[in-house]
Amino acid sequence: MIIQRPFWQSLIENAWQQKNIIWLMGIRRVGKTSLCQSLPNIEYFDCERPRVRQLFEDPEGFLAEQKGKRIVLDEIHRLDNPSEFLKIAADHFKEVKVIATGSSTLGASAKFKDTLTGRKKEIWLTPLLLQEMNAFGNDNLRHRLLFGGLPSFFVAQHFPEDDFREWIDAYWAKDIQDMFSVSKRYSFQKFAELLLAQSGSQFEASRFASACEVSRQTITNYLAILEATFVVHVIRPYAKNRANEIVLAPKIYGFDTGFVCYARGWRELRNEDLGQLWEHCVLNELHAHLQIHSINYWRDKKGHEIDFILHKKDNTQLVAIECKYSSTALFRDHGAESPLVTNFQAFRISYPHGKNYIVARDIDKEFTRTYGDVTISFVNSTQLIAHLHN
């Protein structure tokens, strides 16, 4: 049964109002195919099938037959020259609505000789949103954190241990080998699993080089591939006051809480595990709803830290976001000397303009508190997104 996903379906329909080409990108098994097949009046072409690929040997002839139609080209990187096909469609067949899907950014693979700048709209399909959990039959947040947000994993009755391992093997065989020149399978997969196990931590390439038996430069190259294929998110430090702030070390987040739990050997969650997994979940919500990669964190040399920093287009308004799984703990010590408050105060000394948010999963009605010169809004994830869209 195809599950309707209104948020993503609306995003696609709105994108088609602007361009006739949509690049639908996202990690393997995130649900790209099912989402496309849920759209009305769609003709679906699976480019992994040799017989289907033969249809595209004459791009103009094929597109002429599709006038007025809405078509999906799934796994389009399997074509010999996918960017040429999409460029012809964008320039000469605007009446054909096209969704092309792939498991990486468009420019990640050498197969794409043209990234179609100005000719396409990009949509980044992330793991399940919190608002979608009920549609997939389970509204238990702990289940979402442990099993992750890939639809087939999320609906499993028992922790899908074999599916996680199978996914890692398929990612190597179908994504990495198809699109990149990576020769050392053991080293690459070891690095990926180490990053997932240490998700949310600061990154230093040299720490991984000996464990993976490759050079520091190779580790840097591996990280670029993992980022381009959405397996990890690189969250870089925001810094202008370089004398006082951490400016070099990014943080690395795994793409999905389920894979983080799998890499750490967690098969049940303790209360102390929930905070960092909730942080991952909030990051997923930001990526999906805002469709942006440019999220930072902030930390100064005295140890003050803010989980996520968003900057407006004019770069004068900085949004500061702290993630806390439970609001109960927030009020054990919410005076002016609490660590949460002092983190915001330290940040606002350097960057006084912008909103401050603490986002917790169990806040029903949002509220604000003022501590000296700093005002903090306490919100849940839905309320946070609503504020960010204003």
Q: Residue 242 gets which letter from DSSP?
A: T
Q: What is the pLDDT of residue 336?
A: 47
Of the residues 124, 146, 171, the one at which a domain ends: 124
Q: Residue 126 gets which letter from DSSP?
A: P
Q: What is the pLDDT of residues 317-367, one digit of tens each?
A: 899 999 999 887 665 545 545 778 899 999 999 999 999 999 999 999 999
- Whether residue 323 is contained in a domain is answered as yes
- Whether residue 180 is contained in a domain is answered as yes
- Whether residue 237 is contained in a domain is answered as yes
Q: Do 137 and 285 lie in a common domain?
A: yes
Element of type H or E holding 210: helix 206-212
Q: Do 120 and 135 lie in a common domain?
A: no
- Position 311 pLDDT exceeds 90: no
Q: Which two tokens stand for residue 82?
A: 């996918």
Q: What is the pLDDT of residue 378?
A: 95
Q: What is the pLDDT of residue 365?
A: 95
Q: Do 95 and 157 lie in a common domain?
A: no
Q: Do 189 and 248 lie in a common domain?
A: yes
Query: Could you please report the per-residue DSSP string of 321-344?
Result: EEEES-SGGGGTS-STTSHHHHHH
Q: What is the pLDDT of residues 119-152, one digit of tens each?
A: 999 999 999 999 999 999 999 999 999 999 999 9
- Whether residue 297 is contained in a domain is answered as no
Q: Do 180 and 53 lie in a common domain?
A: no
Question: Average model confidence (pLDDT) for the chain?
Answer: 91
Q: Do 120 and 150 lie in a common domain?
A: no
Q: Do 273 and 310 lie in a common domain?
A: no
Q: Do 105 and 235 lie in a common domain?
A: no
Cα–Cα distance, 98 to 221 (Å, whole number): 32
Phi, psi (deg, nearest 5) at residue 127: -55, 165
Number of domains in the chain: 3
Q: Looking at residue 167, which CATH number applies to its domain?
A: 1.10.10
- The residue type of 317 is Q
pTM over 0.85: yes
Q: Do 120 and 142 lie in a common domain?
A: no
Q: Do 138 and 114 lie in a common domain?
A: no
- Whether residue 1 is contained in a domain is answered as no
